[in-house]
Amino acid sequence: MDWGKTKFFLGEVARNFTRNAAMQITAIGTVAVTIVLLGAFLFVRATLAGLGTDLLSQIEISVYTTNDATPKQIASLESALRADPRVASVEFIPKKQGLVEMKDRVKGEIDMSLLTENPLPDKLRVKVKAPETVAAVAASAQKMPGVANAVFGQDVVAKMLRLGSVLRGIGIGVIVVFVLVAGIIISNTIRLTVFARRREIAIMQLVGATNTYIRMPFICEGLLDGILGAGIALALLAIAKSTLWPRLLEALPGFSLANVRIDGTAMALELLLVGALVGAVASWISVGRYLRT
Amino acid sequence: MISLRNVSLAYPNGTRALDNVSLEIGKGEFVFLVGHSGTGKTSLLRLLYREMGPTSGDITVDGIRVDRLKHSRIPALRRHLGVVFQDYKLLADKTVWENVAFAMQVTGAHSRDVERQVPRALDLVGLAHKSRMYPGELSGGEQQRTAIARALVNNPKLLLCDEPTGNLDPTTTTEIMELLGRINIKGTTVVVATHNSAVVDRMRRRVVRMEDGRVVTDEERGYYYLGLGQDQILSG
């Protein structure tokens, strides 16, 4: 390890970084704003996805038996459903309990006391592991002997699933746009610093420095812009999370955010990586343009 | 050391800078390249350090086929030669020492070698005592010495100078030329493009005269103006 060489290189990077302070601040600010928006977006997306999963996990299939189904038939139906690897749980609801539950649900709206006979069949309440499999599990239950009907909230599930895929699609688009904008601005900033140092670059080329060597300080500069910008953004996001998140919980009393899991560390690392990459790639491109001419 | 064969150079705008130039310069020679401005002296030097490629013809510098040189091999060529310009091309925010060291540092030299060779180069040009000063604090001659030290610090076999005394007064010009002469005696091939007739006439070295992109005369111990020398050899 040649410490003198390293010191020279780091000195050059530091000198250029501080010499073009105004430009660096522009670049860092741009990265910070972009990463804040990106982070906020990822956060909202994760929250919505969590809420969606939460709602979907409550979806259940009601498998109603035929009126002439024997207890033995129902028992074998229950074990058949349990054997299905997609099924999370199966609960037997006898018709009596079904009526109690129904009365409870419509209490105050419909007077059920006039009912002299229980019109409900026995049913099995089935919960699935993954929301996407609800339709398929219901369809296969429908075909089993002794089953009159297998129903679930078809509309809701379909809508939620579609919403999820649309969210993912928009997410990728938004991220690409953010990253591109940040990249273009950093690239322009670095081009200005490259221009400010064109004399130095000309001398480096004259004395036989390789293009890789000439590029390196600029790449470091871009990397530094990206990392610093992302760092500032992460600090802002952390503050926002600790102050705004509790208020969001208050504002949405009907929603349970308990199932919303956000891995803050992983997201922070991702954002930092995005910032660094954008900075490095953008400066690579802008120096490359200069070196080719 | 240098060999040009039927070299022509046309700029994209159609200007013909060099027209079928052939020239041989041996190891250890000291050669003046003279002629009015715009006759192709600078273009010829640029071809030698591969600032540009020729439109046609063969160029060899220190055994390297410069005309066919791949872009990625240009740095290797430049490390084998030093170039000095009229405007010195120094970095204003670096000291004399740093300007000279720069040429080694950016080509990946070990700091031990930098520490050893920079003082040696500064000694050679007589600037050891001003190594901590900035170019702005130096006279023109001292700035040019710094540039020469930078060109020499990597121990090149060839030194190319494009109007090295163009901005200097006669006394300083003489000093710089004497310095170039000393460098030549130590074994470095030196090529100086100039239109300073006094310098050329005093030094009495090989003079290659150019006109309209062509070599018109090549004299062993020439004068700036044609016909003054007794032992001139006309060529081409």
pLDDT digits (tens, 9 = 90+) for A156-212: 777 777 777 787 777 788 878 878 887 888 788 778 888 888 888 899 999 999 988
Domain ranges (residues) in chain B: 90-155
Question: Domain holding A90: CATH number?
Answer: 3.30.70.3040
Cβ-defined contact of A4 to B112 (cutoff 8 Å): yes
Does A42 share its domain with A111? no
Single out the residue in A106, A137, A152 at which a domain terminates.
A152
Q: What angle, rounded to 10 degrees, do the helices at A264-292 and A211-251 form?
A: 150
* Number of domains present in the structure of chain A: 2
Tell whether A214 lies on the interface with B, counting CB pairs under 8 A. Answer: yes
Does A166 share its domain with A124? no
Single out the residue in A134, A152, A170 at which a domain terminates.
A152
Does A180 share its domain with A242? yes
Q: Which two tokens stand for residue A86?
A: 């997609």
Does A171 share its domain with A142? no
Does A226 share its domain with A81? no
Confidence (pLDDT) at B209 = 93
Does A64 share its domain with A51? no
Of the partner residues A2, A7, A203, the one whose CB lies closest to the CB of residue B91: A203
Instruction: List the single best residue of B72, B99, B106, B113 to mutate versus A (max A Cβ within 10 A).
Output: B106
In the DSSP assignment, the letter for residue A145 is T
Does A274 share its domain with A186? yes
Statement: residue B97 has pLDDT above 90: yes
Rounded-to-integer distance, Cα B149 and Cα B120, Å? 9
Over range B141-156, report the average pLDDT: 94
Does A39 share its domain with A181? yes
Does A206 share its domain with A278? yes
Higher-confidence residue: B48 or A274? B48
Does A137 share its domain with A183? no
Does A44 share its domain with A166? yes
Tell whether A84 lies on the interface with B, counting CB pairs under 8 A. Answer: no
Q: How far is B73 from chain A (nearest CA, A)?
A: 9
**Of A128-132, B72-76, B195-199, highest mean pLDDT:** B72-76
A contacts of B109 (beta carbons < 8 Å): 5
Of the partner residues B83, B103, B108, the one whose CB lies closest to the CB of residue A213: B108
**Long-range contacts, stretch A71-77, CB < 8 angstroms, 24+ apart:** A73/A145, A73/A146, A74/A122, A74/A124, A74/A146, A77/A124, A77/A144, A77/A145, A77/A146, A77/A147
ipTM of the complex: 0.88
CA nearest to A4 within chain B: B111
pTM of the shown model: 0.72
Confidence (pLDDT) at A254 = 61
Single out the residue in A152, A171, A201 at which a domain terminates.
A152
Cβ-defined contact of A199 to B112 (cutoff 8 Å): no
Domain membership of residue A234 as a residue range: 3-55+159-292
Tell whether A196 lies on the interface with B, counting CB pairs under 8 A. Answer: no
Does A65 share its domain with A191? no
A12, A216, B104, B135, B141 from A200: Cα distances, Å: 11, 14, 14, 14, 21
